[in-house]
Copies of this chain bind each other. A is one copy, B any other.
């Protein structure tokens, strides 16, 4: 993945480096942010390579300050944070078990004990850290300690119902993915289905996004909606919405774990 100033000849320059290193391009994608005049590029390549040589060649070929991220295709390691709801976690555990997601769950950390039984069924380490009687910072410190026991690439908030502090978010910049149960930017914050019910919307949805300091304001990776009607109270919306949440989170994780997502300010580019 490459991110640099836009100029003429970049694709040729890149493909030249790849050819010189005898690398085969499986799939390319590029995007130019016209306003910022920035170039985003992703290539899936195959072949033996000397990482240092390729990066060095690319640096020479590309404009000053180009960000080059050369990754080996591999299964990502993840830690999942949850609270009490099982639907997203259950889906991830089954996918983890059967290899139908490009990730391995290293551990599950919750602020309640409810989901311990589910994680254990799938022999995934489970840690429960109650927030009871703790200040937000104290609780988060314990969560961070628990997370750091594990070796991981990404943190997945699978309906983790607590707000993270900027300290936490900063530590794991663009490595935390959250599922929010509304089509953002509608219904930010608590009880989105209640908000949706009160507004009388005819669609409900879910949004998966990278977590940043601003609550529910991070770069959106994937969103989807389903239709509802006047017979749906908040409980029925929540029940129907859980399927969308689960699906949207999975679709976003697929993209991220296949290294198909680049961040451009508060937006994502999906290749």
Partner-B contacts on A (CB < 8 A): 8-9, 11-12, 15-16, 18-19, 24-28, 30-32, 34, 86-87, 90-91, 94, 97-98, 100, 118, 121-122, 183-187, 199-203, 205, 219-225, 229-231, 233, 239, 242-243, 247, 250, 264-270
Contact = CB atoms under 8 A, between A and B. Distances in A.
Nearest to A247: B243
Chain B CB count within 10 A is highest, among A186, A200, A203, A221, for A200
A8 B28 contact: no
Contacts of A242: 100
A230 B268 contact: yes
Given A201-B185, A220-B200, A90 B94 contact: yes
A121 B118 CA distance: 9
| Copies in the assembly, this chain | 4
B229 A270 contact: yes
B203 A270 contact: no
What's the dominant secondary structure at chain A's contact region?
mixed
A231 to B, nearest CB: 7
Given A12-B18, A183-B201, A200-B220, 12 more contacts: A8-B24, A9-B19, A11-B11, A11-B15, A25-B30, A90-B98, A91-B94, A200-B265, A203-B205, A203-B223, A230-B269, A243-B250
A180 to B, nearest CB: 12
A19 to B, nearest CB: 4
Nearest to A248: B202
A239 B122 CA distance: 22
Contact of A201 (B184, B229, B243): B184
Contact of A247 (B19, B247, B268): B247
A249 to B, nearest CB: 12
Given A25-B11, A250-B243, A200 B266 contact: yes
A86 B219 CA distance: 33
